[in-house]
């Protein structure tokens, strides 16, 4: 059974940093691209970033480019999102997703709140 378990969310002040993690199990992790998708309270889904199975190729939404870094550890079956220079508009539930040509599995999400 595929499982994606996010962690690392919390309350952070504007300008601060957080590192999200996603522990994956139930599939051959390095065979699949992975992604992060977020959802602000009461809003729709917004793609944040994707990474290829090898970790060599990364992609970012314009809204986070230069501030967020996606990475993965294929030995630990774990996906990461390093978030720097956080802004109030980054407040959202962050979902880890498995990409098999479409986002076929989603984690339960971890909430990031950027506020004073």
Partner 1 sequence: QAGLTQPPSVSKGLRQTATLTCTGNSNNVGNQGAAWLQQHRGHPPKLLSYRNNNRPSGISERLSASRSGNTASLTITGLQPEDEADYYCSAWDSSLSVWVFGGGTKLTVL
Q: To the nearest whole angstrom, how small is the minimum distance from the Cβ of residue 57 to partner 1?
A: 9
Near partner 1 by CB under 8 A: residue from 46, 67, 71, 113: 46
Report the C-alpha gap between 19 and 102 in whole angstroms.
Answer: 25
Binding to partner 1 by residue 95, rule CB under 8 A? yes
Residue 108 as a binder of partner 1 (CB under 8 A): the answer is yes
Measured between alpha carbons, how far is 46 from 3 in angstroms, rounded to an integer? 21
Nearer to partner 1, 59 or 84 (CB): 59
Interface stretch with partner 1, choices 22-30, 67-75, 77-85, 105-113 (CB under 8 A): 105-113
Considering only residues 19-38, where is the footprint of partner 1 by CB under 8 A?
A: 35, 37
45: nearest Cα among 114, 115, 101, 103: 103
With CB under 8 A as the contact rule, which of the stretches 14-22, 70-78, 82-90, 95-103 interacts with partner 1? 95-103
Binding positions for partner 1, rule: CB under 8 A: 35, 37, 44-47, 50, 59, 61-62, 95, 101-109
């Amino acid at each position: 059974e595929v499982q994606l378990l996010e962690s690392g969310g919390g309350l952070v002040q504007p300008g601060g940093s957080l590192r999200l993690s996603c522990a994956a199990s139930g599939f051959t992790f390095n065979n699949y691209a992975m992604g992060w998708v977020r959802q602000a309270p009461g809003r729709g889904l917004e793609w944040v970033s994707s990474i290829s199975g090898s970790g060599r190729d990364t992609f970012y939404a314009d809204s986070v480019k230069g501030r967020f870094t996606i990475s993965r550890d294929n030995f630990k079956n774990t996906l990461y999102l390093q978030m720097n220079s956080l802004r109030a508009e980054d407040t959202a539930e962050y979902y880890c997703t498995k990409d098999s040509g479409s986002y076929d599995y989603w984690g339960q999400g971890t909430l990031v709140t950027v506020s004073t």
